[in-house]
Chain A
Amino acid sequence: MRIANRIVSVLIIVFGIFLTLQSKKFDYMVDGTPGPGFMPYWLGIAIALVALIPLIKTFTQFASKLDNPFQTGDFKNFFIVIGSSIVVMIITPVTGLLIALSLMVGVIARLMGTKSWKTVIGLTICTPILLFGIFVMILNVPLPKGIFGF
């Protein structure tokens, strides 16, 4: 936890400084009143200053008592869910959103531990039908279509 906190604190401080520098692009004051750069400027400074607290704590006894937040296997679900969601974004122009989501549902269910193929295939088929019923039929949401026309 100590190393993770230290890295995150440094990143947040860098972000705060970046924000303050970026805010210089906008007027700080306009006719004696706060301009568009006023709030981001002070937010950047505040973020950097507050982030010093967890950073300083990593050098104290307090930090050594904390457990490592990342355990073996923690990233498995992260890669499955975020990875398959990114794939949805990439393949939607080709397959359409409904097919992309149906594939994602099957992949997530299977890789997260559903052993029965019947359940996986059932989910892959039923979920887009349910989504189509609610979002297209009832709510008239125009979902992105792929090269197959749906």
Chain B
Amino acid sequence: METLENLLFGLSVASDPINLLYCLVGVVFGTLVGALPGLGPAAGIAVLLPLTFGADPIAGIILLAGIYYGAMYGGSITSILINTPGDSAAVMTTLDGYPLAKKGRAAQALGMAAFASIIGGTISVIAFMFLAPALATFAIRFGPPEYFALMVLGLTTIAGMTGKYPSKGFISALVGLFFATVGLDLMQGIPRFTFGSMHLYEGIDFIPVAMGLFGIAEILTCGTSECEIKIDKKDVTWRKLLPSREDWKFSMPHIFRGTGIGFFIGMLPGAGATIASFISYGVAKKTSKRSEEFGTGVIEGVAAPESANNAASIGAMVPMLTLGVPGSGSTAIMLGALMMFGLRPGPMLFERNPDFVWGLIGSMYIGNIFLLLLAILAVPLFIKILNVPRPVLNATVMSFILIGSYSLSNSMFDVGLTIAFGALGFFMKKMDFPAAPMVLALVLGALLETSLRQSMIISGGNPMIFFTRPISGSILVISILAILYPMIKKAIQHFLKSRTA
């Protein structure tokens, strides 16, 4: 009852015209930066931070939160339409979103991405409201062994992304793990594989790799007329944006599962929306009735990662607000903004500044409604992009990719890196080396290595630490089962077949 009273209070705070305006600006801008390749929510939040300097802290945080979850949806637009993830959390959406667009179902894919995002976001706000303190307490118990186990769990999803040739998928992942080792070693401070380049000291950023392997490789391999996507104007109707009853039937369980996974992983510091979307997609693929069709354009392949990344963006705010621990790069910037506003994030924030916390929660409900309206109004416009002739689209997208990669850290080195990964992506695609395992391994690699080494230091070199701690042990057992499950399933099917025969 108290929670509902607090929620009503929060909604009244969020309904203030200035707060509504900030929420709308945040969601619109977030969708834009999410859709632009190279510009993720962290960059968007950082860029708009100066706008909040003179504003009320509640309006400021509402704007920043709006950018964050708006970007999660925005990333799906370019993933589906041009196979270029707007940000890292939308990489998994490309795997089925783009094939759906090729099949002439771009509108339904975009519609499902919007609905999954909004359902994931809304359920997560409810969960945030009721479960925040308890779940935050659980997440804070995660130490290096638990993180290592979680990274291993994330890597098990590679098994489902290896395509036709598993060995090539695993090579791709191993090379991705190598890329993650490039840069300064965080524990000894020595440069590894930087070959004297100062630019590589901070490691290889995920975005140039993803933009090169996905965006540029797509332009290079699909520049000809057979890749031209033409959508009949009749397909771009409001009704088509609504997924069919069958689409809902296939997607609903994955939306709920993705929301749960996303919200939980979002709460874990450092894990974030990208890992949430990877794991959610992997789980969806494993549990779907038509798992073998994943990657060819199934609607639940869009619904699962999209619900997860939006849920993760809300989940990431739990440790930020209740513990003062950021769950992602974007929430780290938001945490800095909170301190700039003179607020001290932590458990006391709920008691000392209820208007702030509940105003933010209320704004998330309103923001999700804005997001839905924006998705419905803007989607036909985005779909028109598809009817642009391929050479024109390629040239324009290429300019966005290059300028987007520059804007990451205002460095031409990142532009060069993006081009290099684009060339690598071309050969990988031609030779049937899947790109997704490389990208996933790059994301997980740094945390995997750091947590492995930290755990071994804690245990004095005893690897049993990963199994003797209940949470890490459980996660590792789940990982092992996830690897063995397809083999066991195959063996059982084979056994049953031989018995019936």
Contacts and interface: CB of A to CB of B under 8 A. Distances in A.
Contacts of A44: 178
Contacts of B457: 31, 33
A139 B407 contact: yes
A139 B391 contact: no
A36 B174 contact: no
B325 interface: no
Interface string B367-407: 00000000000000000000001111011101110110011
B138 interface: no
Contacts of A89: 412, 415-416, 419
Contact of A19 (B178, B396, B432): B178
A62 to B, nearest CB: 10
A40 B390 contact: no
Interface residues of B, number: 59
B406 A34 contact: no
A27 B185 CA distance: 11
B395 A105 contact: yes
Given A89-B416, A123-B395, A39 B47 contact: no
B396 A105 contact: yes
A104 B395 contact: yes
A94 interface: no
Contacts of B464: none
Contacts of B167: 50-51, 53-54
Interface in A91-148: 92, 97, 101-102, 104-106, 108-110, 112-114, 119, 123, 127, 131, 134-135, 139-144
A5 B461 contact: no
Most B-side CB within 10 Å, residue of A33, A97, A102, A105:
A33
Interface stretch (B93-101, B188-196, B254-262, B347-355): B188-196
A14 interface: no
A40 B453 CA distance: 13
A138 B315 CA distance: 29
Contacts of A70: 430
A50 B190 CA distance: 29
Contact of A108 (B177, B188, B398, B419): B398
A10 interface: no
Q: Secondary structure at chain A's binding surface: helix, strand, loop or mixed?
A: helix
B399 A127 contact: yes
Given A36-B187, A101-B402, A69 B171 contact: no
B392 A82 contact: no
A103 to B, nearest CB: 10
B219 A81 contact: yes
Contacts of B174: 43, 46-47, 50
A130 to B, nearest CB: 8
B399 A82 contact: no
A141 B171 contact: no
A17 interface: no
Most A-side CB within 10 Å, residue of B175, B220, B391, B416:
B391
Contacts of B431: 4-5, 8, 69
Contacts of A27: 188
Contacts of A26: 185, 190, 192
Given A104-B398, A108-B391, A141-B407, 11 more contacts: A26-B185, A26-B192, A34-B452, A34-B453, A73-B224, A77-B220, A85-B415, A104-B399, A109-B392, A114-B392, A123-B395
Interface of B: 36, 39, 43, 47, 165, 167-168, 170-171, 174-175, 177-178, 181, 185, 187-188, 190, 192-193, 216, 219-221, 223-224, 389-392, 394-396, 398-400, 402-403, 406-407, 410, 412, 415-416, 419, 422-423, 426-427, 430-432, 449, 452-453, 456-457, 460-461
30 contacts: A8-B427, A19-B178, A26-B185, A33-B453, A33-B457, A40-B178, A40-B193, A43-B181, A47-B171, A47-B178, A50-B167, A50-B170, A50-B171, A69-B430, A70-B430, A77-B224, A81-B220, A81-B394, A89-B416, A97-B403, A108-B391, A109-B392, A109-B394, A110-B391, A113-B390, A119-B392, A127-B396, A139-B43, A140-B47, A144-B412
Interface of A: 4-5, 8, 12, 15, 19, 22, 26-27, 30-36, 38-40, 43-44, 46-47, 50-51, 53-54, 69-70, 73-74, 77-78, 80-82, 85-86, 88-89, 92, 97, 101-102, 104-106, 108-110, 112-114, 119, 123, 127, 131, 134-135, 139-144
